[in-house]
Structure 1
Amino acid sequence: MTIDDVAAAAGVSRMTVSRVLRGGHLVRAPLQERVFAAVKKLNYRLNVSARALAGSGPSRVGLVYSNPSQAFLSELLTGALKESSKLGMQLTLTADAETHDRTAEIDALLRSGVQAFVLPSPACDAPDVLKLLREAQARWVAISPANLEIHRFSVSADHFDIAGRMTTRLIELGHRHIGFIAGSATSKGAAERLRGHLRAMAAAGIKKCPVEQGAFTFQSGLEATEKMLASFPECTAIIACNDDMAAAAISVAHRHHLDVPRDLTVVGFDDTPIASIVSPAITTARQPIAEMAQSAIRLLHTASNLTSEDDNKRTQKVLPCTLIERESSGPPRVAARLRA
């Protein structure tokens, strides 16, 4: 099927179809509905690869979002909106909720003319999403993918390095009984943070390394901290895999009448707004979320100008994280307070 077939089925001009698929500017709503109905009936899909090569860059970008942290979304959108606006691109946000809805929403974006996508984890690791985009010959940039080899373009933070530095810093403060609250089991970044932590613990000769599973949400942080304090009463420090769960750990500590950081040091990751709002303010590792989104948009813009001769070109960027010390961390008390 071609754009002329769609125009004939909708009873409009070829130019009208083109305008609708490029965003609907200057086209009345009834005509847009007729065009989309014809597109659906004929199962028409734009050749997004050819269209990308025809211009100086993608005009529309789809951002598929699924991370449960609202603070992460805020940072991600800030960076993506800033860079897409600078490059004259329109950003469309779609929620990656259930699997059957995910592919339907992405397919709808493809049919409407979206030719480039930013895929944060875990969407970038979903086989059904990647299959759909490959079939449409679309471009995408993965953010923190689990497997770099299956993506031509990706942007990640150095989670392994910063987690190791965070753990080493707590050990330097005198902590030997350190618990870890992991992030989502499907997150590459969470896995790398845990791996970096365990590597630093092993390097210090510390064998007992309790880990409780979290899910990046405040609620999961509450539950994981309760389990940690019950199973590991000698714990003097907790490393939570993001700031939401670190804030939850501080809340649980207060509930148990524990002083942070004198009785319990709590640290997090990402340096989202909650880290500086709670009391005490959270020692955290700043993940360059906005910068990663900006870098992903720039990569998409560059990738759209590649020719067939560049099909084997790969770009994987890794951005450093920064350790930020605040009031929630400090040396442990000389006598660890056992909690029944």
Structure 2
Amino acid sequence: MSKPTASDYIRGSLYGLAAVSIWASWIVAARLGLKTSLTPWDITAIRFGVAGSILLPYLVRKGLAVDRLGGVGLAAIVLGGGAPMVLVSYAGLLFAPAAHAASLYTALIPVLVAILAAVVLDEAFTVAKRIGLALIVIGVLGIVWGAGGTIGSRQNIGHALFIAAGMLWACYTVAMQKARLDGLHAAAIAAVGSLVTYVPVYVIMSGTTLFSAPWRDVALQALVQGVLTPVISFWLYGRAVSILGASNGSAFAALSPVMTTLLAIPILGERPATIDRIAMLLISGGVYIASGGRGARKRHSDNEKVCSDLNGPKTPKVAERPLKTL
């Protein structure tokens, strides 16, 4: 994939920021739902019952893209973007607060994607990317520390679940990029796959218990979890990845703690502590560097030019190396 131009970076950044804004809302909305009358299984059923129904006609027209994904890639899309990933992340909210979810799930996504993309897609792990990802990790650890995360506590169950969800999403991202799927197509495969596999099992196991929940709770989850997150944000995220690449596009996920905190102030009345603010600045700086910000890209290009001048003209490549299998 060729390096994005300055205009590409701006377009990709807008897509990435819009997707992350929606991701922040699903964390807050899910936390609210779990505090009222809903369970992770309820919210997951609402999410894919709505999203799968919306995207079913689109998937019928586009197909499963098995020829491009292969069996392993298709499994990565369904597991990483469907009910398994969602259930793991929602279950984590039963043990740990929303701030931890934003830090250990969405904020760690660029780190996990960058590692997986380097192995599967042979994406370059540049010095700038390493610096940016290091800042992200430091910021994530600072937020968890400031939120009271401790080793050996019940919260660690939630932490492990958040990290597991992030790993599943990283597989989704790399599989989507490897197969050159657009964001809406990948979202449709994941949503409809969960509609036909998870929702019937949920109905058999739970019956009509969901109908006894307050309609406002169900309507909120249907909007945020069923439309905005798995349809709109997946399309936005897919556009960011297609423009900026898998690891660069996913780096915007690290802004989730910042967005989640800003959203939680008016809705949940939670204000960040000083350490949280410092950590968010580190994460924001890390996102800019790791995602190929204009200044970082210019410095990287200048360094490459200097090295080229010192080493002489490069010998043209005979052939591109094939992509490794997922």
> TM (normalized to structure 2)?
0.25
Q: Choose between structure 1 and 2 for higher RCO, CA contacts under 8 A separated by at least 6 residues.
A: 2
Bigger Rg, which one: 1
